[in-house]
Structure 1
C-alpha cells in the first residue's frame, strides 16, 4: 500500500484523534479565543497556500454565517505579494494559518507581514509539523496559539490528504460556536462507509476520461477546488481538471464539456442551496449523459449515478466536506494508478515539490 493510500484510509482514525486532542486542550483554547472573538470589530482571515488555502475557502462562508461576522479566506500567496492591500484596514485581526509542514516560505512570511502591518493581530497556527518554522516560531508567544495535529497527519505522500481534513476539522470545531466534539465521530463513521465502497469508483478511472469537472456551492465551492487540485496533482496534469460553482459554470466555463468529460456535483445539505445543485446535475445529464455525471449527496435519492454519503444528512456543509473529499481523494488515486503514475511521487523529476521551492520573499518597504 502506498503512503498516499494509507493516508487517505487513516482519516477516520486521525479525525477521532484530533477531537481527543482538542478535548484535552479545551481550557487553553477557550482562554485564548474567547476574548479575541468578543471584539465586535474583529476580522478573521483564514490563510494557507494550495490545499491549505482551500481549507479556508471551505470554512469562510460557513463561519461567516455561524459567527455573524466577517470571515475571509485569503491565500498566503496573495498576502505575500500584496500585503498592503490585504491589510489596508488596520482592525483587530485573527490570522488563522493552515500549514502541513509550516515551512513554506509564503506561510512564514504571511504571519510576519500581518504582525508588521497591523497594530492588533493574533495568530492561530494549525499545523501538522511540530518541527516546522511556524510551530517553533509561535509556540510560547502570548499572542499566538499553536494547535498541532496528530503526527500521522504530516503526510509522507506528495498530496495533502489527512493533513488537509484534520486541519479543516480542527478549525471548525474551535471557531464555529456550540460545536460538539462528537461531530468528529459522526464524520469518521461516514468516511468509513465511503472507504468501504471505494471499489465503486474504479470504473470511472477505466473509462478514458480526459477532463473532470467538480462543482459545488458555498463551502462546497472550496471543496470543488481542492478536488480538482488533487486530481491534477496525482495524475501529474495528465487529466485536465476544472472547478466552479453550479451557477457560475453556465457563464462560459461550461464550454469545457465534451464527450470524454466526467462531472462531479457536490450537493449541499442546505435546502435552498441544493436546488441550484440539483438543477445543474439535471442539465449535465442532458449535456453529457447521466452516466458521466456523478452526484455526491448526503440525502437519500433514487438517482442511479449517485454516491450517497450516509449518516451526515444533518451536518453543515463545511464539515460535510470532510467525508465528501474522501471521494475526490479516492478518485484521484484511481486515476493516478490507471495512468501508471506513482501517487506518492507523481513528479519524479521534481517539477513540483511537496514543500514549495524557488520562492524569494522580498522585504516590504515602509
Structure 2
C-alpha cells in the first residue's frame, strides 16, 4: 500500500481529530474571530498555493453566502506577483492562509505583503506543519492565530490529500458552523462509505481514458479544479485533465470531449444550482455515451455514484466526501500507468514543496 493511499484512507479519522482539536480551542478561536466577524466592513481573503488555493475556492462562495459578507479566494501566487492589485482596497482584512508545509516561499511572502499593504490586517493560519516557517512566524504574533492540523495530515506523499480536506473542514468549522463534532462525524461517515467502494473506480482506470473532465458549480467548481490537478499530478501529466463549470463548459471548452474522455459531474445540493448540473450531465450522456459519464450525487442513486448521508449539507462540505472519489480515481490511473503515486516525478521536475521561487522586494 502506498503512502498516498494510506493518507487518502485516513481522512475520516483525521477529520474527527481535527474537529476535536478545534473544539478544545473554541474559546480562543471565538475570542479571535468574533470581534472581526462583527465588523461589517471586514474583507475575508482565503489564500494558498495550488491545492491550498483550491481549498479557498471551494469555501469562498459558501462562506460569502453563510456570513453575508465579501469572501474572496486569491492564490498566494497572485498576491506575491501583484500585491498592490490584490490589496488595492485598504480595508480591515482577515487573511486566511492554507498551507500543508508552510515553507513555500509564497506562503510566507503573502502574509508579509498583506501587512505591508494594509493598515488593519489579521491573519488566520491553518497549516499541517508545526515546524513550518509560516506557523513559527505567526505563532506568537498579536494579530494572528495559528490552527494546527493533526500531525498525520502533513502528507508525506507528493500530492495533498488529507491536508487539503482537513484544512478545508477546519476553516468552515471555525468561521461558519456551531455543529463541530456532529457535522464532522456525518461527513466522515459519508467518506467511509466512499472508501468502502474504492474498487469501483478500477473500471474507469482500466478503460484507458486519455482525458478526464471535471465539472462543478459554485463551491464544487473549486472541487473540480482540485480534482483535475490531483489526476494531473499523480499521473505525471500522462492523462490530460480539465475543469470547468457546467454552464461555462459549453462556451468552447466542450471541444475537449472525445471517445476516450471521461466526464465527471459533481451535482450540487442546492435545488436551483443542481438543475444546471443535471442539464450538462444529461447532455454529456448523449454526447459521449452514458458509460463515459460519472455523476456524483448526494441525493439520488439513479445513474450516479451516490454519496449517502449528506443530502442536506452545504456544497463546500459536500466537497469533502466527493473529493475522495477524485483522489481514488487519480491513484488508480497512476498505478494503471505504472507511475509511483508517492513520487510521480522521480527526476524532480515537480517538487512536493515548490522550489526555484525568488521573492523580490516590493518597492515603495
Q: What is the TM-score when the length of structure 1 is the normalising length?
A: 0.99
Question: 1:286 & 1:100 partners in 2: Cα distance?
Answer: 41
Secondary structure, aligned partner of 2:294: strand
Displacement after TM superposition at 1:354 (Å): 0.2
- Contact 1:262–1:293 (CA under 8 A) maintained in structure 2: yes
Contact 1:96 1:125 in 2 (8 A): yes
CA–CA distance in 1 between the matches of 2:318 and 2:145? 26
- Call closer, same or farther: CA 1:177–1:8 in 2, change over 3 Å: closer
CA contact (8 A) 2:127 2:146 kept: yes
Match of 2:332 in 1: 334
Secondary structure of 1:95's counterpart equals strand
Give the equivalent residue in structure 1 for 2:173: 173
Of 354, 358, 366, which aligns to 2:356? Answer: 358
**Counterparts in 2 of 1:100-119, with a 5 A limit?**
100-119=100-119
Residues 66 and 177 of structure 1 are in contact (CA less than 8 Å); yes or no, is this contact kept in structure 2?
no
- Measured after TM superposition, the shift of residue 140 of structure 1 is 1.1
CA distances 1:45-86 after superposition (whole Å, capped 9, x unpaired): 000000000000000000000000000000000000000001
Give the aligned partner of residue 143 of structure 1. 143
Q: Please list the CA deviations of residues 2-54 of structure 1 after superposition, one character each: whole Å capped at 9, or x if unmatched.
A: 11000000000000000100110000000000011111100000000000000
Match of 1:46 in 2: 46
Alignment deviations for residues 155-175 of structure 1 (CA, whole Å, 9 cap, x no partner): 000000000000000000011
CA distance in 1, matches of 2:225, 2:30: 32
Equivalent residue, structure 2, for 1:325: 323
- CA distance in structure 2 between the partners assigned to 1:240 and 1:296 by the alignment: 20
Gaps of 5+ in 2: none
Kept in 2, the 8 Å contact 1:15–1:169? The answer is yes
| Deviation (angstroms), 1:301 | 3.1
2:228 corresponds to which residue?
A: 228
Once superposed, which parts of structure 1, at least 4 consecutive aligned residues long, lie more than 2 Å away?
177-181
The 2-side partners of 1:321 and 1:15 are apart by 13
3-state DSSP class of the match of 1:182? helix
| Alignment root-mean-square deviation, CA | 0.6
**CA-CA distance at 1:177 after TM superposition:** 4.4
Alpha-carbon distance in structure 2 between the residues aligned to 1:124 and 1:302? 41
Report how far residue 181 of structure 1 moved. Answer: 3.0
User: 1:270 — aligned with what?
Assistant: 270
Aligned to 1:251: 251
Pairwise CA distance, 1:179: 3.7
Quote the Cα distance in structure 1 between the aligned partners of 2:316 and 2:39. 24
Aligned residues of 2:19 and 2:180 also touching (Cα < 8 A): no
Does the CA-based 8 Å contact 1:67-1:177 persist in structure 2? no
Structure 1 residue runs of 5 or longer lacking an equivalent are: none
Cα contact 2:95–2:122 (8 A) shared by 1: yes
SS at match of 2:146: strand
Output the TM-score relative to the length of structure 2: 0.99
The alignment partner of 2:96 has SS state of: strand
2:156 is aligned with 1:159: no
310, 316, 319: which one aligns with 2:308: 310
Where does residue 14 of structure 2 map in the other structure? 14
